[in-house]
C-alpha cells in the first residue's frame, strides 16, 4: 500500500530519508535559485503582458505542488520564456493588456492548461512527447527566441510597440524609432552589455580570482540580480524616472488570497486551443529537461506522473491568480549545479519567494523596464540553436525542410501558428517515415549464415528467390507500400518463383496489415510464386497463429532466414550466385 501512495506522491520517497546533509544542500540550492528566479519571474510576467508581481505569485504554490508530485529531484517549475510568449499571444486575442479581464483570462488559461495536463496524465498519454520531433521543437523555440528578443527592443528604446510576428514587431519599432528615449537606451544597453559579458567571461574571471569552477559558474548566474540592484539605485539616485525612464512602479506587497478560476463559455471557446498548445510545449520542454538531468543522476522520470505534477502546478498557479508555468531549463540547471539533493530545494525556494513578496517588493518601485527587457533578451537568445539547420541539412533533407518550415512560419505568422505547425509537422514526419519503411533486398554473406543488404555488401543470391527484410512494424499506413514493393520486384524479374519475407525487425502487425498479407499470399500464388516468412518474433507469431494466417500460407515459416534459403534451394535445386560488393556503406546492414 505504501508503494501505491508513493506512486501518486513521489515526495514521500525522499521525505522518509531526509537528513541534515540533504537539508544543507537543498538550502544552498534554494538560495541560489531564488536570487536567479526573482528577476526572471518579474521579467516573464512582463513578457506575458501581466503585472510583474504576478510572476512572483506563479513561483510559489506551483513549486510546492511540483515538489510533492514530481518525479525529478532537480526540475524547477515556474514562468518560462516560451510559455509566457504563448500566453501573451493567446490573451491578446481576448482582452486588452493591463486590464482586469486580461488577468482573469490568464488565470483561466493556466487552469485550462492544468486540466489538460492532468487529463493527459490520468489516461497515460505521457508517451505523446515522443511524437514531437526534437528538431522541429528546436526550430520553434529558436524562432520564438528571436520574436521574444525583438519584442523587448521597445523597452530598451523606451518607445511604444506591439505585434505578434517579426514583421509586426519590426513595423512597430520602425514607426516609433524617432521617439527613442536616450537615457532608457543607455541604461538598457549598459545592462545588456553587462549581462552578456558576465555570461561570456564571468566564470573564467571568477575562477582566476580564486573561486572553484562550480562556485564561479553559480556566481556568474546571479548577474541579473546585480543588474537589478544597480539600476534601481541609478534610477533612484539620479531621478531618472523624471526623464521618462519607464519603471515598474508600485508592486503590491503580500501574498494574494486563493482565487477560484472562472470558466465562462465564450472564453473557454477562445482559449482551449492555446491552452492545449501551451500544455504540449510546456510538457515537452519540462520532460526534456527532467530526462537530461535525471540521466546525470541515474534517476527515472515518469512521463505520466510528470503530466500530473505539471497539471497540478498549473492549477496551483491559477488559484494563485497567475499564468501558465512549466519546468524551466536555466533555473533547473542552476538548481542541479547548486547541489540540490531533493525537491525540498523547490519548497525552500517557494518560501524565499513568498518572503520576498511580503517584504522586498517596495524596493522594486524604481526597477527600470529596460533592465527586465535586457534580462529576457540574454535569457532567450541562449535558447536559439541555429546549428539545427546545418545538422538536419547534412543528416536528412526532409528534417531540414520541416525545421525550416516551422522556423519561418513562426517568424512570419506568430507563435501559435508556429507551434501548431511544429506539432503537425512532427506527426507528418513520423507518419511519412513509418508509411514508407525501409525494405532491403538481402543476400547471404559467403562463409556465414548472415544476410545483409545487397547494395551494401558482397553477398550471394539466388535468382529464383526474392529475399526482403522489412525494417518497420506493419500497420494500416505502410502495409500497401510493402505489397507494392514486392510486386515491383516480382514484375521486374521473371525468374522469381519464391518470395521470402524476413520478419526479424517487425514487432507488430495490425489487422489492416494482416489483410494485405493475406491478399499478397493469394495474388503471388495465382502467379505461380510462393510466399514464405522467416524469423518471426514471438508476439507476431502468436497473433498471426490466432487467425490461422500461417495455416493458409502457401509457403513455409522458417525459424531462420538461412534455413529458409537452404531448404528452398535443396527442394528445387537452385544454386546461389556470387554478387558484387555494393560498396556504399560496409558498416551498414
Domain boundary among 411, 430, 449: 430
Final residue belonging to a domain, choices 396, 411, 430: 430
Rounded to an integer, what is the distance from CA 305 to the centroid of its chain?
16
Query: What is the Cα–Cα distance from 219 to 206, expressed in whole angstroms?
Result: 8
Question: Is the same domain home to 443 and 404?
Answer: no
- Residue 357: CB atoms within 10 A of its CB come to 22
* Interatomic CA distance for residues 209 and 351, integer angstroms: 33
What is the C-alpha separation between 161 and 152, in angstroms, rounded? 9
Return the pLDDT at 583: 45
Asked if residue 118 is part of any domain, the answer here is yes
Whether 232 and 257 share a structural domain: yes
- Say if residue 84 is in the same domain as residue 170: yes
**Mean pLDDT lowest for which of 1-10, 29-38, 321-330, 476-485?**
1-10
pLDDT value of residue 381: 86
| 342 and 300, same domain (yes or no) | yes
Phi/psi of residue 513, nearest 5 degrees: -70, -35
Q: How many CB atoms lie within 10 A of CB 101?
A: 13
Strands 465-470 and 498-502 come out as parallel
Residue in this structure with the C-alpha cell 545588456, named with its chain if needed: 192
SS3 state of residue 472: coil
Give pLDDT tens digits for 136-150. Answer: 888 888 999 999 999
Q: Are 66 and 211 members of one domain?
A: yes
Give the H/E segment covering residue 530: strand 530-534
User: Is residue 512 pLDDT above 90, yes or no?
Assistant: yes
Please check whether residues 407 and 461 belong to one and the same domain.
no
Answer with the one of 375, 397, 430 that is the final residue of a domain. Answer: 430
pLDDT band at 428 (very low <50, low <70, confident <90, very high): confident
446 and 424 part of one domain: no
Q: Find all residues with CB under 8 Å of 86, minimum gap 6, and list them.
A: 274, 277, 278, 281, 324, 415, 416, 419
What count of other Cβ atoms lies within 10 Å of the Cβ of residue 387? Answer: 10
Q: What is the pLDDT of residue 4?
A: 57
- The pLDDT tens digits for 285-298 are 898 888 888 888 88
* Contact status, residue 501 vs residue 465, Cβ threshold 8 Å: no
Helix-helix angle 134-151:81-91, to 10 degrees? 70
Residue 2: the pLDDT is 53
Mean pLDDT value of segment 106-122 = 96
Indicate if 403 and 286 belong to the same structural domain. yes
What torsion, rounded to 10 degrees, do the Cα atoms 487, 437, 128, 285 define? -150
Using the predicted structure, report yes or no on whether residue 586 has a pLDDT greater than 70.
no
Q: Is residue 403 one of the residues assigned to a domain?
A: yes
pLDDT at residue 331, rounded to an integer: 85
Average pLDDT, the chain: 90
Q: For residue 540, what pLDDT is reported?
A: 94
323-358: pLDDT as tens digits: 999 998 888 988 888 889 999 999 999 999 999 999
Contact 511, 477 (CB under 8 A): no
Which domain covers residue 127, as residue numbers?
24-430
Instruction: Show the 3-state SS of 282-313.
Output: HHHHHHHHHHHHHHHHCCCCCHHHHHHHHHHH
Residues 241-270: tens digit of each pLDDT: 999 999 998 888 888 788 888 899 999 999
| 157 and 190 within one domain | yes
Cβ-proximal residues to 226 (8 Å cutoff; 6+ apart), any chain: 194
- The reply to whether 148 falls in a domain is yes
Do 28 and 136 belong together in one domain? yes
pLDDT (tens digit, 9 = 90+) per residue, 24-73?
999 989 998 998 889 989 999 999 999 999 999 999 999 999 999 999 99
What distances in angstroms separate CA 117 from CA 61, 330, 478, one per listed residue? 17, 22, 32
Domain count, the chain: 2
Tell me what the mean pLDDT of segment 555-571 comes to: 95
Report the percent of the chain where pLDDT is more than 70. Answer: 97
Query: Is 589 a member of any domain?
Result: no
Q: How confident is the model at residue 372 (pLDDT cuts 50, 70, 90)?
A: very high
Taking phi over 0 as left and psi of -120 to 50 as alpha, with beta for the rest, 54 belongs to alpha
H or E stretch covering 465: strand 465-470
Residue predicted with more confidence, 130 or 86: 86
User: Do 260 and 403 have their domain in common?
Assistant: yes
How far apart (Å, rounded) are the C-alpha atoms in residues 518 and 299? 46
Identify the residue whose cell numbers are 539545427: 388
**CATH number, residue 455:** 3.30.750.24
Do 56 and 78 meet the contact criterion of CB atoms below 8 Å apart? no
Selection from 576, 434, 441, 438 nearest residue 500 by Cα: 441
**Does residue 319 belong to any structural domain of this protein?**
yes
The answer, yes or no, to whether residue 579 has pLDDT greater than 80, is no
The pLDDT assigned to 580 comes to 52
- Quick one: 62 and 145 in the same domain? yes
In a domain, 483, yes or no: yes
HEC secondary structure over 29-64: HHHHHHHHHHHHHHHHHHHCCCCHHHHHHCCCHHHH
Kindly state whether residue 19 falls inside one of the protein's structural domains.
no
In-domain check, residue 588: no
Residue-wise pLDDT tens digits, 151-185: 999 999 999 887 878 899 999 899 989 899 999 99
Q: What pLDDT shows up at residue 584?
A: 43
Whose CA is closest to 46, among 336, 258, 247, 217? 247
Q: Are strands 498-502 and 530-534 parallel, antiparallel or unpaired?
A: parallel
Residue 129 has pLDDT above 90, yes or no: no
Amino acid at each position: 500500500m505504501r508503494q501505491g501512495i508513493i506512486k501518486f506522491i513521489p515526495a514521500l520517497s525522499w521525505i522518509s530519508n531526509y537528513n541534515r546533509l540533504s537539508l544543507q544542500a537543498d538550502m544552498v540550492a534554494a538560495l541560489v535559485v531564488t536570487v536567479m528566479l526573482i528577476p526572471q519571474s518579474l521579467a516573464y510576467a512582463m513578457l506575458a503582458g501581466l503585472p510583474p508581481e504576478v510572476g512572483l505569485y506563479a513561483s510559489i504554490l506551483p513549486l510546492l505542488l511540483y515538489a510533492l508530485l514530481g518525479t525529478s529531484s532537480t526540475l524547477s517549475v515556474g514562468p518560462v520564456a516560451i510559455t509566457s510568449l504563448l500566453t501573451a499571444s493567446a490573451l491578446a486575442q481576448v482582452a486588452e493588456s493591463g486590464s482586469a479581464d486580461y488577468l482573469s483570462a490568464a488565470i483561466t488559461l493556466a487552469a485550462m492548461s492544468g486540466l489538460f495536463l492532468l487529463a493527459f496524465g490520468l489516461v497515460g498519454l505521457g508517451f505523446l512527447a515522443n511524437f514531437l520531433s526534437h528538431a522541429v521543437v528546436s526550430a520553434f523555440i529558436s524562432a520564438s527566441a528571436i520574436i521574444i528578443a525583438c519584442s523587448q527592443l521597445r523597452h530598451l528604446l523606451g518607445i511604444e510597440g506591439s505585434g505578434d510576428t517579426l514583421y509586426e514587431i519590426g513595423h512597430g519599432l520602425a514607426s516609433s524609432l524617432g521617439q527613442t528615449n536616450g537615457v532608457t537606451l543607455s541604461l538598457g544597453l549598459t545592462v545588456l552589455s553587462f549581462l552578456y559579458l558576465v555570461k561570456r567571461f564571468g566564470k573564467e574571471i571568477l575562477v582566476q580570482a580564486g573561486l572553484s569552477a562550480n562556485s564561479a559558474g553559480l556566481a556568474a548566474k546571479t548577474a541579473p540580480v546585480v543588474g537589478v540592484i544597480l539600476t534601481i539605485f541609478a534610477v533612484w539616485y539620479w531621478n531618472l524616472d523624471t526623464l521618462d525612464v519607464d519603471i515598474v512602479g508600485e508592486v503590491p506587497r503580500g501574498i494574494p488570497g486563493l482565487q477560484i478560476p472562472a470558466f465562462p463559455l465564450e472564453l473557454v471557446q477562445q482559449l482551449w486551443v492555446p491552452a492545449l498548445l501551451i500544455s504540449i510545449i510546456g510538457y515537452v520542454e519540462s520532460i526534456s529537461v527532467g530526462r537530461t538531468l535525471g540521466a546525470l543522476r541515474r534517476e527515472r522520470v515518469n512521463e505520466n506522473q510528470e503530466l500530473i505534477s505539471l497539471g497540478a502546478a498549473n492549477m496551483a498557479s491559477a488559484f494563485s491568480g497567475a499564468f501558465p508555468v512549466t519546468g524551466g531549463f536555466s533555473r533547473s540547471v542552476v538548481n542541479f549545479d547548486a547541489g540540490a539533493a531533493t525537491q525540498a530545494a523547490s519548497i525552500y525556494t517557494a518560501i524565499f519567494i513568498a518572503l520576498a513578496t511580503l517584504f522586498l517588493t517596495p524596493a522594486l518601485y524604481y526597477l527600470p523596464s529596460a533592465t527586465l527587457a535586457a534580462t529576457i533578451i540574454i535569457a532567450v537568445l541562449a535558447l536559439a540553436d541555429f546549428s539545427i539547420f546545418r545538422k538536419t541539412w547534412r543528416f536528412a533533407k526532409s528534417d531540414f525542410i520541416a525545421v525550416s518550415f516551422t522556423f519561418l512560419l513562426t517568424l512570419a505568422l506568430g507563435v501559435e501558428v508556429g507551434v501548431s505547425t511544429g506539432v503537425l509537422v512532427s506527426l507528418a514526419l513520423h507518419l511519412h517515415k513509418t508509411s514508407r519503411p525501409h525494405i532491403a533486398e538481402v543476400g547471404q554473406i559467403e562463409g556465414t549464415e548472415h544476410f545483409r543488404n545487397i547494395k551494401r555488401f558482397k553477398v550471394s543470391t539466388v535468382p529464383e528467390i526474392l529475399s526482403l527484410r522489412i525494417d518497420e512494424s506493419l500497420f494500416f499506413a505502410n502495409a500497401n507500400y510493402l505489397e507494392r514493393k514486392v510486386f515491383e520486384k516480382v514484375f521486374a524479374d521473371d525468374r522469381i518463383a519464391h518470395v521470402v519475407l524476413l520478419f526479424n525487425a517487425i514487432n507488430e502487425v495490425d489487422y489492416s496489415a494482416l489483410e494485405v498479407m493475406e491478399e499478397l499470399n493469394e495474388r503471388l500464388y495465382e502467379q505461380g510464386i510462393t510466399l514464405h516468412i522467416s524469423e518471426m518474433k514471438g508476439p507476431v507469431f502468436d497473433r498471426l497463429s490466432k487467425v490461422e494466417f500461417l495455416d493458409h500460407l502457401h509457403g513455409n515459416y522458417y525459424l531462420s532466414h538461412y534455413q529458409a534459403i537452404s531448404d528452398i534451394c535443396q527442394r528445387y535445386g537452385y544454386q546461389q550466385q556470387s554478387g558484387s560488393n555494393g560498396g556504399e556503406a560496409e558498416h551498414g546492414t
